[in-house]
Amino acid sequence: MAKREKRTFLEFAHELLDKDKIDNFLDFIQFLKNNQLVKESQLTLTKSTSYSTMIHYTKDINGKICALNLNSIKRYKPDGSWSIAPNNIFFNAYENYVTDEKLQEFIINSINFIKCRGCDGSNCNGGGEHFGLGKNNLTIFGKNFKNVCNGSPLLIINPSGEALEYAKKLILTTKDIIIDISKNKT
């Protein structure tokens, strides 16, 4: 078996994404850098499989802002895709932090219903139950949803234009939640 060539997360992105997607992806990376939410080392770490990286604001689990994922499974997206998965530990907190109706609508439209790997949710160990999300059921902004992925209840796929701007607002909201949690711990 041949040894895989090691590449950085950004090198994988350039290989997998078409021009429009890479431009939006790099715009989001620049947003993370401008808001001091990503370290260069998270983007330049070399490994043989670099399709996902966690973005942390602080070192503990409550400090994880989101995961950035690159989809390299060509049967799903011939030209590749990228996604943002906000930390699901904060899902219930969005109810108290998000008052903008358009951002609420964006969150609702980003709910990730069970479909990964042909999953029907019956054998899910994605972790949602551990964060008070319940087994595949979710209530947010007064609306109930069934068959929601426990591991990534929100998944923002290939955001561009207005969706990219709302994704950024959601990430800044997550940062605010982390800051408030940190203040309450001290």
Tokens representing 136 are 């595949």
Evaluate whether 170 touches 107 at the Cβ level (below 8 Å): yes
Specify the pTM.
0.81
**pLDDT for 133-183, tens place per residue?**
445 778 889 898 887 877 778 889 899 999 999 999 999 999 999 888 878
Give the whole-angstrom CA distance, residue 85 versus residue 175.
Answer: 14
**pLDDT for 109-124, tens place per residue?**
998 877 655 455 555 5
Domain boundaries, the chain: 7-110+154-185
| Model confidence band, residue 1 (pLDDT cutoffs 50, 70, 90) | very low
